[in-house]
Structure 1
Amino acid sequence: MKFTRDEIRRSMLLYAISDRTWLKEGESLADVCRRVLDSGATFLQIREKDLEPGRFAQEAEELRQLCQRRNVPFVVNDSVEIALSCGSDGVHVGQSDLRGRDIRALIGPDRILGISAGTVAEAKAAQEAGADYIGVGAVFGTSTKKDARNLTVEALRDIVRAVSIPVVAIGGINAGNIAQLKGSNVDGVAVISAIFGAEDPGAATSQLLALAKDMVAAHG
């Protein structure tokens, strides 16, 4: 694997997930992601649900190159095919993507596999399916998933305790509420709109990175 287990755990600190719907006139996704990476994002996922496959693959390749030059892990949301074709570091999938598919076998042993989970049982199953990390949420609700369940700090802590792989919290996390995750023992936070929807995504990234470091340090 290109990234060690410890490197993956550290890369969870500020996990940015792309959302092109926030792009301003004249901006490209690569332009914004470059600023976000240069401002301290430690992991990047391309998540473009409504982009046609050819364009998705093209943008994934652009972002892969940006991340590779900065030695930041880059994964593709849902599409194993695009993850493989663009040479990404891995793929992130949901619970429904696991049904009848051995994602680990499809991507091989050397790529990163992230899996979403919302319960201890789902987290344990994800680890057994070969996940390198788990995305757990939604912790504060989210506009990107209509059926997301909110999770308490106690529930997050139970999930972290139940698995040995890194856990990143996701769902409605922003500068105003990230401190509420202190004591959850998560390895970091995954953020979409608080970065890509910000007036200045780079400045938002810098602020969230500092807050994420403070949150993790407070776990004790």
Structure 2
Amino acid sequence: MKRPLDFKLYVITGENYHPGRGMLEVMEAALRGGADIVQLRDKMSPKRELIEKAKRLKELTAKYGVPLIVNDHPDVALAADADGVHLGQDDLSIEAARELLGSCRIIGISTHRIEQARAAERAGADYIGVGPVYPTGTKPGRQAVTTSYVAQAAAEIGIPFVAIGGITETNAEEVLRAGARRLCAVSAIVGHDNPESVCRNLLGKINAWRLGEQAALAESVSLSVPVSLSAPMPAPGDVREIDVVVNGRSERTQAATLLELAAEYKLEGRSVIAELDGAVVPRQLWGETPLQGGGSVEFVHFVGGG
């Protein structure tokens, strides 16, 4: 069964940005720096060569426990046993890609306006790209969507979204301030002499915003952060059952995080607030909020009226 997806720093290959250095060398530096999802993007190589690149990169990302996404090509993703595919608006539909890849692989898609984001969520995308936030050489001629679209996505979209396009160490704070909690960069990371350092810096900014958001919310509702929010996360692959109280009813679950519990109740795309042991948990933190036996969870639905 595919676990609900969450990540912080998404790094895309770009061999033209680092002549003289190999793709694997650069991407391993990014992984050491904390990249927690990687995409192979190569518009030039023949399909056979692309598959071989994907296989080599998959070996590397697997060593770090990080998903590998292949840009554009579900068949390459399958041939290389990659973890998923990233689609453009003019590529194969999400539904067709899902039929090819099955339910256990990740499907992401680029979006450039809120209508596309809503459609992707309805179609079953696991995540969306929101951008380009700023002008970028990776997408020449594409008009920047600005941070206003980032703010729209943060307000409306329930599945994970990652801000992308022209993001650097200098402007990352502005994007995070608009509501992004996941960032993606290409040239700013793989084109840098020290990709590991850039990744650590960007990841530090993301973590600071996530933690600051949690602390500010706890203070605003006059609640202390519950002990369970700071409890250790289960090790990857651990399967254990715990008893939790969900909306007043005792339930037994294998969910390791609040995000996984929400997925069990099919709430990923719904307008829902979650409380854990009496404290509201921002949606962006569900994937890193561990569940402990005896905990109490409340899912509160928004109901439209008029």
TM-score with structure 2 length normalisation? 0.66
2:129 match: 135
1:211 match: 205
Cα distance in 1, alignment partners of residues 146 and 165 from structure 2:
12
Checking the alignment, whether the CA contact within 8 Å between 2:176 and 2:206 is kept in structure 1 is no
Checking the alignment, whether the CA contact within 8 Å between 2:181 and 2:206 is kept in structure 1 is no
Match status 1:111 vs 2:116: no
Gaps of 5+ in 1: none
Amino acid at match of 1:74: L
* Deviation of 1:84 (Å): 0.6
Checking the alignment, whether the CA contact within 8 Å between 1:77 and 1:92 is kept in structure 2 is yes
* Deviation of 1:22 (Å): 2.1
What are the Cα deviations for residues 169-212 of structure 1, in whole angstroms up to 9, with x where unaligned? 00000001001113322231111000011011122222222122
1:15 match: 10
Match status 1:167 vs 2:129: no
Checking the alignment, whether the CA contact within 8 Å between 1:178 and 1:215 is kept in structure 2 is no
Q: Counterparts in 2 of 1:1-220, with a 5 A limit?
A: 1-2=1-2, 4-5=3-4, 8-9=5-6, 11=7, 13-25=8-20, 27-98=21-92, 102-219=96-213
Checking the alignment, whether the CA contact within 8 Å between 2:94 and 2:120 is kept in structure 1 is no
Q: Name the CA shift for 1:219/1:49 in 2 (closer, same or farther; >3 Å).
A: farther
Cα distance in 2, alignment partners of residues 28 and 182 from structure 1:
31
Checking the alignment, whether the CA contact within 8 Å between 1:93 and 1:114 is kept in structure 2 is yes
Checking the alignment, whether the CA contact within 8 Å between 1:17 and 1:192 is kept in structure 2 is yes
Checking the alignment, whether the CA contact within 8 Å between 2:181 and 2:209 is kept in structure 1 is no
Q: Which has the larger radius of gyration?
A: 2
Residue 116 of structure 1 aligns to a residue in which SS? strand
Residue 166 of structure 2 aligns to a residue in which SS? coil
Checking the alignment, whether the CA contact within 8 Å between 1:183 and 1:218 is kept in structure 2 is no
Amino acid at match of 2:147: V
Cα distance in 1, alignment partners of residues 63 and 94 from structure 2:
36
User: 1 or 2 for the larger relative contact order (CA 8 Å, sep ≥6)?
Assistant: 1
* Deviation of 1:91 (Å): 0.3
* Deviation of 1:216 (Å): 3.7
Cα distance in 1, alignment partners of residues 212 and 99 from structure 2:
37
What are the Cα deviations for residues 129-163 of structure 1, in whole angstroms up to 9, with x where unaligned? 22100001010111111232222333212123222
* Deviation of 1:63 (Å): 0.9
TM-score with structure 1 length normalisation? 0.90
Cα distance in 2, alignment partners of residues 197 and 51 from structure 1:
20
What are the Cα deviations for residues 101-145 of structure 1, in whole angstroms up to 9, with x where unaligned? 621112111000001101111001111222100001010111111
Amino acid at match of 1:156: V
What are the Cα deviations for residues 69-108 of structure 1, in whole angstroms up to 9, with x where unaligned? 2111110000111001000000000111145962111211
Q: Which runs of 4+ in 1 moved over 4 A?
A: none
Residue 177 of structure 2 aligns to a residue in which SS? coil
Q: Name the CA shift for 1:203/1:183 in 2 (closer, same or farther; >3 Å).
A: closer
Cα distance in 1, alignment partners of residues 31 and 162 from structure 2:
18
Cα distance in 2, alignment partners of residues 121 and 218 from structure 1:
30
Give the aligned length.
Answer: 214
CA RMSD of aligned residues (A): 1.8
Amino acid at match of 2:68: F
